[in-house]
Homo-oligomer: A and B are copies of this chain.
Amino acid sequence: MPNIDAFVPPPRLLMGPGPISCDPRVLRAMSHQLIGQFDPSMTHCMNETMGLYRGVFRTENRWTFLVDSTARGGIEAALVSLLKPGDRVLVPVFGRFGFLLKEIAERCDAEVHCIEIEWGRVAEPEQIAQAIDRVKPQLVALVQGDTSTTMCQPLAEIGRLCREKGVLTYCDATASIGGNTFLTDEWDISAVSAGLQKCLGGPSGIAPITLNEEAVARIDRRRHIEAGIRASHHVDAAGERIRSNYFDLAMIMDYWGEERLNHHTEATSMLFAARECARIWLEEGAEKAIARHRQNGEAMAAGLQAMGLKLFGDQHYRMNNVVGVYIPEGADGEKIRAQLLEDFAIEIGTSFGPLHGRIWRIGTMGYNARRDAVLQTLACLEQVLKLNGVKIQTGDAVPAALDSLGPPGAPSPSSASGPQARQKHRRQE
């Protein structure tokens, strides 16, 4: 007989690359009682949520909605709906999640062409322009922030050049959105998907997505209504049917649209969570929320450096919300992580692939992009490193972070809102 006591999770401060601790307001939203799938209050909530995510994605796209899966499912929904078998897709890969896009596109039987970039760097627009001319893809698919390397890919030029060359763009903004600037319309990105569990302060389990008119038109050419709910006025499109029923964005749009054609049963509690995540973020304001991520990420980086630890990757392109730090020579990275978790209830992240065993990844995102979370983490990590006999500079980490943060409640410097500004800010230090 299995244990049938209720599960009560232990206290944790989640300072890894995500998921992170949930905003308590989002936890409260999930504890609301359910309402029916087609209740006017439900469809109203869905419509409001579409509006809120237009704010998050900085877009006017009508088709801004949720896919009922984790962020990975949002990626698959975008790719399986945008790519027919045989379509060419160009994927700049600068970390593990670039490989994931490649892998998912391959399973769509697309012809996948990659540009592999050294981990710790980002793609140059010129590389992408040349590859587009060579490959002539239907789609460029890339990640904005790849937590595996902590790098944040600049997108403004890439969006523009894809538009000029008539190529659609898809971006996975799961790890970056909310904590780094993302301007769907201004950058001309055709399709973007995300998740709640990073800078938006929610749990994994539902994937916001936005599609511009070109992306919708491409999907509409493959629109097929499910047999069980087809009415006489429904006409299937000429294009081949999308291979997935669950991730068929045409059908999901029909469910979120005026016709409310039945598809899945909306994951109501996750919808409530998603709505609250967007609401909280917009209430704080895009600029302030991103500045908070930058400020706390900077403070964490400053503290780690003050301990004498070395940061990973090109800091000019680092995501605001996660920093990679080399595991010091001779230290047992996993033992230290385990002790920090077991004795101090603080989680930091390990790494994948070529960085496994070489760096830790420490997040400051969503609800945990907070002064106290940064200071607790630095104070406790310092103790654990000392307990493990790792030679570090002691006593300087917290003061350096405090110096970087400024006095409590201080506004973040208004000039510091991008990598350029960050460098400038550093020079001023």
Taking Cβ atoms with an 8 Å cutoff, the residues of A that contact B are 1-12, 14, 16, 18-22, 24-25, 27-37, 39, 41-42, 45, 48, 51-52, 54-55, 68-73, 76, 80, 96-97, 99-100, 102-104, 107-109, 148, 195, 197, 203-206, 226-229, 241-247, 262-270, 272-273, 275-276, 279, 282-283, 341, 347, 352-353
Q: Are A48 and B9 in contact, CB atoms less than 8 angstroms apart?
A: no
- CA of A424 to CA of B110 in the docked complex: distance in angstroms? 59
State which of B6, B7, B12, B24 has its C-beta within 8 Å of the C-beta of A36: B12
The answer to whether B7 touches A21, judged by C-beta atoms less than 8 angstroms apart, is no
13 cross-chain CB contacts under 8 A: A6-B276, A7-B29, A7-B45, A7-B272, A9-B45, A21-B34, A27-B30, A70-B266, A73-B73, A203-B267, A204-B265, A205-B206, A206-B267
Of all A-B residue pairs in the complex, the 4 with the closest CB atoms, nearest first, are: A205-B267, A2-B51, A99-B228, A31-B31
Contact in complex: A245, B72 (CB < 8 Å): yes
| With A100-B228, A203-B34 as contacts: A18 and B265 at CB distance below 8 Å | yes
Contact call A107/B241, Cβ cutoff below 8 A: yes
Known A72-B264, A203-B269; 18 more pairs at CB < 8 Å: A4-B52, A6-B25, A7-B272, A7-B279, A12-B35, A27-B33, A34-B203, A36-B341, A68-B204, A70-B265, A71-B264, A72-B265, A73-B73, A203-B267, A243-B243, A262-B352, A267-B270, A269-B270
Known contacts A243-B243, A244-B76, A352-B262: A9-B32 contact under CB 8 Å: yes
Q: Quote the shortest CB–CB distance from A16 to chain B (angstroms).
A: 6
The complex places the Cα of A102 from the Cα of B107 at a distance, in Å, of: 22
Closest to A55 in B: B2
Whether A51 lies near B9 (C-beta < 8 A) is no
Residues from chain B with a CB closer than 8 A to the CB of A39 are 12, 341, 347
* Inter-chain contact B228/A352, CB cutoff 8 Å: yes
Among A243, A273, A283, the one with the most B-chain Cβ atoms within 10 Å of its Cβ is A243
Which residue of chain B has its CB nearest to the CB of A195? B265
Residues of the B chain whose Cβ atoms lie less than 8 Å from the Cβ of A12: 33-36, 39
Q: Could you tell me if B204 and A267 are in contact, using CB atoms closer than 8 angstroms?
A: yes
* Bound-complex Cα distance A205 to B353 (A): 31
Measured CA separation A7–B353 after assembly (Å): 42
Residue of B nearest to A26 (CB): B269
Residues A69 and B72 in contact in the complex (CB < 8 Å), given A28-B31, A33-B22, A227-B102: no
Roughly how many angstroms separate A75 CA and B423 CA in the complex, as a whole number? 50
Across the interface, A70 reaches (CB within 8 A) one of B103, B203, B264, B272, namely B264
